Amino acid sequence: MLLCAPLSIEDQVVQAMPDASPTKWHLAHTTWFFEAFVLAGAPFDPSYAYLFNSYYETLGSRIARDRRGSLTRPSLERVHAYRAEIDRRIAHALAEGVLDREARTRLELGLHHEQQHQELILTDLEYTLGTQPLAPAYREDLARSAPGEPAALRWRRFEGGVVEIGAPPTGFAFDNERPRHAVIVTPYELATRPICNADVLAFITAGGYRDPTLWLSDGWQLVQREDWTAPLYWDGRGACYELAGMRAIDPAETACHLSYYEADAIARWRGARLPTEAEWEHAAAQLDPTRGNFADDDRLQPSRADAHGDSLAQMFGDVWEWTSSSYAPYPGFRPLDGALGEYNGKFMSGQQVLRGGSCFTPRGHVRASYRNFFPPAARWQMTGVRLARDA
């Protein structure tokens, strides 16, 4: 609700593309999740199961994803009333101790699901506002440092070996993070920082978007079909859109809104590659996942690409980092029981794994084992690049 406070009603009902849902829908869907999976009793409104179910086939039919923006009713005021009522029911159930162990487990999952949609509100909103002719700011008071020079990109070596990845058996994690298992990682190096805008500008100047030898076949077809010449939101005149409005591109700022195809092409141009998710998690395992530029920092834009010596900087926060790993089940993966088994497992096709969270992610939501995933063409997410190479 706080994220939505700066918005007009009109801002919250637009669906600018099929993958970006209206803010009003996010508010209602996250409310429906608690009602459907945690609470018992009569629904607030029986029609909401059709309107606000996202992809749970076992819970019945639902409105098509690309038609969520066609919903003028219920009104935003009615959606706010829905949230208030379900919040009241959840608070009452907790106070009275009527939620059994399974319901409490689903409540915890619902809280993490809510955090995912807080991030989606920001990413979807950036696309909604950033593709409008007026390019209006979401908020004009967001902080940004003065433009400067990026830190030098250095390399950190890791010996690898037989290492364990995945979430431990206790504590919260999504089902796709388990089971913890052993993998073989050969010696590798990671860049000490993610790539910055200066690195992307150099790629553009070198003709990277016009060189088919740098691109995967599907990516090159997409570059030609959609006439990509720069990251999403760059205007070709030295400025880019962010939630604070149009601003001059800062060469030192961490590069964002790059697809997997662009990430792979830039890595190839640099004589490097993208890390595997096992390499990324192995390198990040001893780092504090709460230290970084997250949504809580009220910046809502990646910070300056920074590094000190050979220590790894910005592994958490700022930008989700593409890996070369296809999103697939771990050995021994078991989805959750019932309808919640559809939460992650059925998307394990045609997606790439990303790691680390972004400046739109709530602090405390990610960990070294956290596996995000998106199609390789996706650019509207806060996605960036960390280079890797064989040691």
Our CA angle for 31, 12, 240, nearest 5°, is 120
Determine the residue type at 140.
E
Picking from 77, 105, 97, 85, the residue whose alpha carbon sits closest to that of residue 42 is 85
Residue 285, pLDDT above cutoff 90: yes
Look-up of token digits 């990026």: 150
- 328 close to 346: Cβ distance less than 8 angstroms: no
Q: Which residues contact 275 (CB under 8 A, 6 or more apart)?
A: 188, 190, 283, 321, 323, 324, 386, 387, 388
As given in the structure block, the two tokens for residue 367 are 């960990």
Query: DSSP letter at 146?
Result: P
pLDDT confidence of residue 148: 78
Average pLDDT for residues 186-211, to the nearest whole number? 97
pLDDT band at 305 (very low <50, low <70, confident <90, very high): confident
- 232 close to 380: Cβ distance less than 8 angstroms: yes
Q: What is the pLDDT of residues 122-156, one digit of tens each?
A: 999 999 999 999 999 999 999 877 777 888 999 99
Average pLDDT for residues 331-338, to the nearest whole number? 94
Q: What is the pLDDT of residues 231-270, one digit of tens each?
A: 999 999 999 999 999 999 999 999 999 999 999 999 999 9
Q: Cα–Cα distances in Å, from 255 out to 94, 227, 262?
A: 43, 20, 11
pTM metric for this prediction:
0.96
pLDDT band at 309 (very low <50, low <70, confident <90, very high): confident
How far apart, in whole angstroms, are the C-alpha atoms of residue 385 and residue 361? 17
Fold topology of 155-390: paralog of FGE (formylglycine-generating enzyme) (3.90.1580)
Q: What is the pLDDT of residues 54-107, one digit of tens each?
A: 999 999 999 999 999 999 999 999 999 999 999 999 999 999 999 999 999 999
As given in the structure block, the two tokens for residue 168 are 């431990």
For residue 241, count CB atoms less than 10 angstroms from its CB and return exposed for 0-12, middle for 13-18, buried for 19 or more.
buried
Would the CA dihedral through 194, 290, 286, 375 be positive or negative? negative
How far apart, in whole angstroms, are the C-alpha atoms of residue 320 and residue 381? 8
- Residue boundaries of the structural domains of the chain: 10-130, 155-390
As given in the structure block, the two tokens for residue 274 are 């993208």
CB atoms under 10 Å from CB of 98, counted, come to 11
SS3 78: helix
How far apart, in whole angstroms, are the C-alpha atoms of residue 319 and residue 336? 29
As given in the structure block, the two tokens for residue 309 are 């010596």
Picking from 279, 301, 353, 358, the residue whose alpha carbon sits closest to that of residue 322 is 353
- How does DSSP assign 4-24, residue by residue? TTT--TGGGT---BTTB--HH
- 3 close to 72: Cβ distance less than 8 angstroms: no
Q: What is the pLDDT of residues 112-124, one digit of tens each?
A: 999 999 999 999 9
